[in-house]
Amino acid sequence: MTFGDLELHPLSDGTFRLDGGAMFGVVPKPLWERRAPADERNRIRMGLRPLLVRGERTLLIDAGIGDKMDEKSVEIYGIDRSHHLDHDLAALGLTRGDIDIVLASHLHFDHAGGFTVRADVPGGLAPAFPNATYIVRTAEWDDAMHPHERNRASYLAENFAPLAAAGCLRLMDGDGPIMPGVRVVRTGGHTMHHQMVVIESGGRTAVFTADLMPSAAHVDVPWIMGYDLYPMDTLAFKRGFVRDAIDRGYLVFFEHDPDIAAGYIRDENGRKRVEPRLEP
């Protein structure tokens, strides 16, 4: 879709499954399963939707789960990549070599898995986007490189450590512009330095919320993931964000929604809902 001077293309790296209880935190199952039906293992289906932004440069926000997961993880997470990122790039006439910038919301495996690929090089891993500069928030990088017991399963060094060795990593401190019309804003909450991406062009605003609001089912402010390390920070940020998104008509991108890539948040007598814009 055209968005001011930019083009925005939600892509797909397939789907995966996570525990429904963990995805909705303190919300009881009878409430969340109406929005996200669980399978026999209590898992819900989730999308993997990096966003391609074409403007002065060709920018990819997050890169899906990638193809390095072992058989056991593929089974546990129900990963289905029968249709993946390369297919969607090809549909736009692009290859991985055409991406100039890869921007990370944070470094969890379902966002950064596609950053690297297995290759016949020392160490066995190479950047998946050979001509790209990878931009990562400095403090998120530091946390990912020094995981603790609670986040170790999400930060897999194979997804990001090779970028530093390959010389294509650019660490960025704080909030600020990535290219004309695109800037990052720290949300915290999910991880201490998780960031969203704000896209402004032609007088309109779109926001790639990443794990601040992973799906349209998370549009209610207290519907916060059990995975979040700092849920009260998520709550505080999200409360303000949802208000702004409604009042200012932001186009919101949902990275993990299985069906709705993007939409507008509407408030109907206190009930929040998403009016879908870009179907898969």
Shortest Cβ 49–Zn ion spacing (Å): 10
Residues in contact with Zn ion, shown as a per-residue x/- string from 194 to 223 under the rule CB under 5 A? -----------------x------------
**Nearest to residue 227, comparing CAs of 37, 26, 4?**
26
Examine residue 140 and tell whether it contacts Zn ion (CB under 5 A): no
Distances (CA, A) of 114 to 166, 196, 212, 249: 15, 18, 20, 31
Shortest Cβ 99–Zn ion spacing (Å): 20
Q: Which DSSP string do the residues of 13-36 spell out, in sequence order?
A: --EEEEEHHHHHTTS-HHHHHHHS
Distance CA 209, CA 189 (A): 12
Distance CA 113, CA 138 (A): 18
Only segment of 18-26, 108-116, 151-159, 167-175 that touches Zn ion (CB under 5 A)? 108-116
Examine residue 88 and tell whether it contacts Zn ion (CB under 5 A): no
**Of 13, 67, 88, 110, which lies in the binding site for Zn ion, with binding defined by CB under 5 A?**
110
Residues in contact with Zn ion, shown as a per-residue x/- string from 249 to 278 under the rule CB under 5 A? ------------------------------
Shortest Cβ 210–Zn ion spacing (Å): 7
Examine residue 62 and tell whether it contacts Zn ion (CB under 5 A): no
Q: Please, which residue, 110 or 228, has the CB nearer to Zn ion?
A: 110
Handedness of CA 220, 226, 227, 233 (dihedral sign): positive
**Nearest to residue 117, comparing CAs of 172, 167, 169, 69?**
69
Per CB under 5 A, residues contacting Zn ion are: 110, 211
